[in-house]
Chain A
Amino acid sequence: MEAYVGYFLYFLSLLTVGGIYAIFALGLNVQWGFAGLFNVGIVGFAAVGAYTYALLTTAGSTFHLGGFGLPLPFGMFMGMALSGVIAGLIGLICIRLRSDYLAIATIGIAEIIKLILKNETDITNGPRGINKIPRAWEHFSETRFYTDWPMSWFGTPENWEAFFDSLPNWYWQPLFAATIILSMYVIYRMLERARTSPWGRMMTAIRENEPAARAAGKDVTRRRIEAFVIGASIMGLAGALFAQHLRLIEPTNTFDPSKVTFLVWVMLITGGSGNNRGAILGAFLIWTIWSASELVISGGIELVENIFSTLDPSILQTRAGFLRMMLIGILMQVILQRYPGGILPEVRPASPKAENDTREPTGETK
């Protein structure tokens, strides 16, 4: 029984992190898949979302600014909003230039955000990071939540304490995973709706043939900024969820560009850019490969250790992670060259009007 709980929890954590990456991939899909905007600063938007959420929702602390103890959904919303505002500013400056410049600007802004997080120690606690970030569902068992409203309306602190003691200590994990999958699903439905709407079809037109779209009177720059901002706020939300999952964030290792930006890119390209289902599939697939390869590599290291007992295993252990990164990089190059469409290639949304026309050739208008 105990072993099954262990497997169940492993599966749940796979689902949780996979879901967070899927939200990142959906955000990138709006920018790259819909609008063709090359953003390599995903990690910056993730950090903005995560830090905003962390500063607004943690309990008061002497190490960083505030710890305002605000409600969790408000923190997540502000993370989204701030991330969107920053994206809007970058968009206003760079979006009319060629995509290469946008790439350089986004990688730059990601570095600047990290510089600010590292140097403004009064606000962010610098390289030591922010600790004890409340995680949705688990936070109910924290004293400061069950002694305060609205939970205090339903029971005395003693009752709540007894209630949480009676639950297994992983009670929040299925609920947290379900919350993430649900938010992913809601975003997916909204983006599917956006994709088939006139807005989505206009985005495709702008991406495929900008001069034609411009000639047809579409406000290309504005639409591109819109897509960039929407994508970035989705990334901000994913960043806030990432902060909840980790509970401790700091600027350097948590927000390593190669682990966030690059992995999300590989996920989107593998799944199929332009296809929302592809983005989700790619995220779960690559994340499963990524975490399974950890087990395979550590097994491989044990094997090598047993064969060559003279080798120092610590060197192998520190370097195996980089080998994994390299293999993922090569995988991305192979997919780019051999299967540019990804697993689920993009399906163009046909105009609903045209569909009606083929079904009813009599030409009856509704």
Chain B
Amino acid sequence: MWEFVNYYFIPGLVLGCIYALGAIGITLTFGILRFANFAHGEIMMSGSYLTWTVMAIAAGAGLTLHPLVAMVPAAVMVILLFLATDRYFYKPFRKEDTIKVVMASFGMMLIIRSAVQVIWGPNQITFVRGIAKPNATLSEITANWGLQIMMPNKHLFIFAGTIVLVIALGYLLNRTRIGKAMRAVSDSPDLAHVTGIDVDKVIRATWIVGGICATAAGVFLVMDTQMLETTMGFRMLLPMFAAAILGGIGKPYGAVFGGLVIGLAEELSAYPWIGTAPLLSPGYKTGVAFAIMVVMLIVRPQGLFKGRSF
């Protein structure tokens, strides 16, 4: 039990939080702009590279920044990158067949990745070596309850950050004018246009929300794995799509739920449920997300939360 919670359940939740944040951006763009954005993972990856560059610059000036602080200027840059991509590469196709935009985003995926590889080099960059120590207070308190939970501080930060962002997103979507407009455009763009909603403004808001969540997801992923890789965006792409489809396209809460389910499923698939060997070889973890996605596409393409199905 102790092993299950610490080595499978908590890492699964952490991974789930990362997928959830990434999937929010994908599901919003899919719902509001109506195309599958293949460049999302790469934007996430560039966000984490930017964050660590900000940290390195600050360290050069004698300032030690926590990644969560350095994330703020990086998120601004990511949002600008998103808006520039939209302006120059996606907007020309807005009146045309959506598959053109998907193609453009597929091209952007490679342009952004190559740009990162040109600027920062193709190799892995490792920051903190060794194993992160579990939070002492938490394990002491929980040990008295009979189930010792060992969680490093980085995981606590990831959970807290995700909860704050999801609550903020909920407030934005349910309480503010722009959030309601976003939901309206997602449900029916024509009707939203007729009622006088400024669709361009909604699209900008979508990129901003998606950019913040994508940067957070990228930074959390790097905090978890403790290294920067140029391929991590592409690796994240499939589970994030699976999460968005599982939760229903255009449903941000569905994406959060889908992300948690996919993250847990990936980690728990390696748990020795039967006998002592892992149920599924850890090399196939990525396959779990794909399998869930395929089952959803066959059984219920609109997702668990009655999203849009095209």
- A interface residue numbers (CB < 8 A to B): 36, 38, 40, 93-94, 97-101, 103-105, 107-109, 111-112, 115, 118-119, 257-258, 262, 265, 269, 315, 318-319, 322-323, 325-326, 329-330, 332-333, 336-337, 340
Q: Report how far A337 CA is from B237 CA in the complex, Å.
A: 25
Which of B118, B238, B281 is within 8 Å of A319, CB to CB?
B118
For A107, the chain B residues whose CB sits under 8 A away are 38, 237-238
Closest Cβ neighbor of A320 among chain B residues = B118
Closest Cβ neighbor of B35 among chain A residues = A100
Which of B103, B108, B122, B245 is within 8 Å of A318, CB to CB?
B122
Q: Report how far A94 CA is from B234 CA in the complex, Å.
A: 21
- Identify which of residues 286-310 in chain B touch chain A, using a CB-to-CB cut-off of 8 Å: 286-287, 290, 293-294, 297-298, 301, 309-310
Q: Report how far A329 CA is from B297 CA in the complex, Å.
A: 31
Which of A40, A112, A330, A332 is within 8 Å of B290, CB to CB?
A112
Known: A118-B283, A119-B284, A258-B113. A322 touches B310 (CB 8 A): no
Number of A-B contacts (CB under 8 A): 116
Does chain A have a CB within 8 A of B49? Answer: no
For A326, the chain B residues whose CB sits under 8 A away are 110-111, 114-115, 118
Which candidate, B6-14, B94-102, B131-139, is the interface stretch facing chain A?
B94-102
Q: Report how far A93 CA is from B309 CA in the complex, Å.
A: 14
Contact A100 B102 (CB under 8 A): yes
Q: Report how far A319 CA is from B117 CA in the complex, Å.
A: 7
Known: A101-B301, A119-B281, A326-B115. A112 touches B287 (CB 8 A): yes
Q: Which among A98, A100, A111, A332 has the greatest number of chain B C-beta atoms within 10 A?
A: A100
Contact A119 B283 (CB under 8 A): yes
Closest Cβ neighbor of B235 among chain A residues = A111
For B117, the chain A residues whose CB sits under 8 A away are 319, 322
- A109 CB, nearest partner CB in chain B, Å: 8
- B285 CB, nearest partner CB in chain A, Å: 9
Closest Cβ neighbor of A262 among chain B residues = B110
Known: A93-B297, A323-B118. A101 touches B310 (CB 8 A): yes
Q: Report how far A269 CA is from B104 CA in the complex, Å.
A: 12
For A97, the chain B residues whose CB sits under 8 A away are 297, 301, 309-310
Contact A100 B310 (CB under 8 A): yes
Does chain A have a CB within 8 A of B89? Answer: yes
Q: Report how far A110 CA is from B257 CA in the complex, Å.
A: 26
For B111, the chain A residues whose CB sits under 8 A away are 326, 329-330, 333
Q: Report how far A315 CA is from B115 CA in the complex, Å.
A: 15
7 contacts between A and B (CB under 8 A): A100-B30, A101-B310, A108-B293, A115-B284, A325-B114, A329-B110, A336-B93
Q: Report how far A38 CA is from B107 CA in the complex, Å.
A: 13
Known: A104-B36, A258-B110. A333 touches B290 (CB 8 A): no
For A101, the chain B residues whose CB sits under 8 A away are 36, 245, 297, 301, 310
Closest Cβ neighbor of A331 among chain B residues = B107
For A319, the chain B residues whose CB sits under 8 A away are 117-118, 121-122
Contact A333 B104 (CB under 8 A): yes
- B117 CB, nearest partner CB in chain A, Å: 4
Contact B283 A115 (CB under 8 A): yes
- A274 CB, nearest partner CB in chain B, Å: 14
Which of B107, B122, B284, B293 is within 8 Å of A333, CB to CB?
B107
- B241 CB, nearest partner CB in chain A, Å: 5
Contact A99 B290 (CB under 8 A): no
- A324 CB, nearest partner CB in chain B, Å: 8
Which of B92, B108, B281, B298 is within 8 Å of A337, CB to CB?
B92
Q: Report how far A302 CA is from B266 CA in the complex, Å.
A: 47
Having A100-B99, A319-B122, one finds 8 other A-B pairs with CB under 8 Å, namely A99-B98, A100-B310, A103-B36, A112-B287, A262-B106, A318-B122, A326-B118, A332-B107
Contact B36 A329 (CB under 8 A): no
- A105 CB, nearest partner CB in chain B, Å: 7
